[in-house]
Structure 1
């Protein structure tokens, strides 16, 4: 069974989309969906083996080999970002879309975060994303237009125990708004997608204490469940598509209403203690697998 996209076949024919963090989770799913509807995808990450696996998966669906390329890059390092963008342009001749998805964080109270740890998370989630945006804009989009989608997080109202990442993602949100204003005259749109609790392989990379908190999540939000990577990808593809041509400087939340929950909102007891059956996920990604955290439980060491 191929990818079950809600978008029409061929919608992205002739377009090239660069996806950072393309070797797993949201990036992997988005690469599959875009390739299934005609895009050439350039997937970027630090682990070439993971990228090669995703490339093989997509090609196994009947996508031509030249429609998927892999590019090793640590987005925190300027010289690597410049080389990567130049490599994509040399190979494909254009970059119509950028999905700025690479990122990561760990759970720790602010008082215990070291300066080095804070800087590392901000450098990855804000500075690295900025560098990719800037180089894609300067090297192609300033003269040819395009669409940039930055992946942030459910940061509304702060992000306790993830203050370093919340600061970085908040910075990426205001950076998005700034770029949307500065780059609109060049025909470049810049938007965000903010995921809440999304089931992905990322769940398995957290330490046990963070995994404990993840398992408590569904009853605390209105939708009463986790989201999935196909639901994220659908929002990303919308912002890259022609129908969003008048949308820039905006953010789509994919979070099950999490920021709308308040202390005065208490889920009915039956819903709080049983799986939700009213909010049903969109199961579009045929190769998606639930995180091992949700199928096997917590392990002492995160799975990388």
Structure 2
């Protein structure tokens, strides 16, 4: 199979962490994985397709994704990019809410709208949106929880609208994942880190590759009967009665 024959998949926020792992896994699966993010990955390979884009700028993002989709339609879209303001209710500002909404919700909307005509021409496709376990509630995450809960509602609506075209739309909602951001904010000896680990039934945080494996599963033809669903990949936190620190 040539490069032009392989199905294209677009991954937002693909420069590091979970997004980087997703790009690698999809490439291993044989897809033409295309990444976009504000900055290029430090370990970008010469044969990788990657574009720099400020995803908080809806107009710039739409133009880029529409241009990429004109070159060849995308079969899959992984809306992974996100930001998480860490503020209490008292300290959460209107700007915090607007910033989180712009990146977590508007960028998802714009990218999906831009790839949709091509998916319809292909006669099917996969849209995977990223929410979070925090959508169910987490202290000091007002803006983040609100936007991530909103993504679940959007996904269920889109699943209904796009089902006639053979396009499935699902959500992955990770719990704590061992990315650079997690390690920077959760020092091993910090009591809050220990309390967090104690609240996870599996007693560990997840790996980016485990999230990438779930993306691979949802992208597969064999999962074409699943749509509008939210998969919590969180080590059992959503079923635990332990208070989350």
TM-score by length of 1: 0.73
Provide the residue aligned with 2:29 in structure 1.
37
Once residues 186 and 86 of structure 2 are traced to their aligned partners in structure 1, the CA distance between those partners, rounded to angstroms, is 8
**CA-based RMSD:** 2.1
| Deviations 1:216-271 (CA, angstroms, capped at 9, x unpaired) | 311112111101111101111111111101000011111001011115x9xxxxxx
User: Between Structure 1 and Structure 2, how many residues are aligned?
Assistant: 237
Q: Which of 48, 63, 69 lines up with 2:49 in the alignment?
A: 69
Provide the residue aligned with 1:140 in structure 2.
118
Provide the residue aligned with 1:192 in structure 2.
171
Unaligned runs of at least 5 residues, structure 1: 1-9, 60-64, 266-304
Larger radius of gyration: 1
Provide the residue aligned with 2:20 in structure 1.
28
Once residues 262 and 86 of structure 1 are traced to their aligned partners in structure 2, the CA distance between those partners, rounded to angstroms, is 45
Q: Superposed, which structure 2 residues align to 1:1-304 within 5 Å?
A: 14-48=6-40, 50=41, 53-56=42-45, 65=47, 68-91=48-71, 93-137=72-116, 139-144=117-122, 145-155=124-134, 157-204=136-183, 206=185, 213-263=192-242
Equivalent pair of 2:135/2:146 in contact (CA under 8 Å): no
Once residues 176 and 26 of structure 1 are traced to their aligned partners in structure 2, the CA distance between those partners, rounded to angstroms, is 20
Equivalent pair of 2:136/2:145 in contact (CA under 8 Å): no
Equivalent pair of 1:143/1:186 in contact (CA under 8 Å): no
Change (3 A) 1:131 1:184: same
Equivalent pair of 1:33/1:233 in contact (CA under 8 Å): yes
Question: How far apart are 1:76 and its partner, in Å?
Answer: 2.4
Once residues 94 and 244 of structure 1 are traced to their aligned partners in structure 2, the CA distance between those partners, rounded to angstroms, is 21
Q: Secondary structure of 1:76's partner?
A: coil
Question: How far apart are 1:75 and its partner, in Å?
Answer: 2.1
Unaligned runs of at least 5 residues, structure 2: none
Change (3 A) 1:196 1:207: closer
TM-score by length of 2: 0.89
| Deviations 1:1-22 (CA, angstroms, capped at 9, x unpaired) | xxxxxxxxx9xx7111100000
Change (3 A) 1:89 1:156: closer
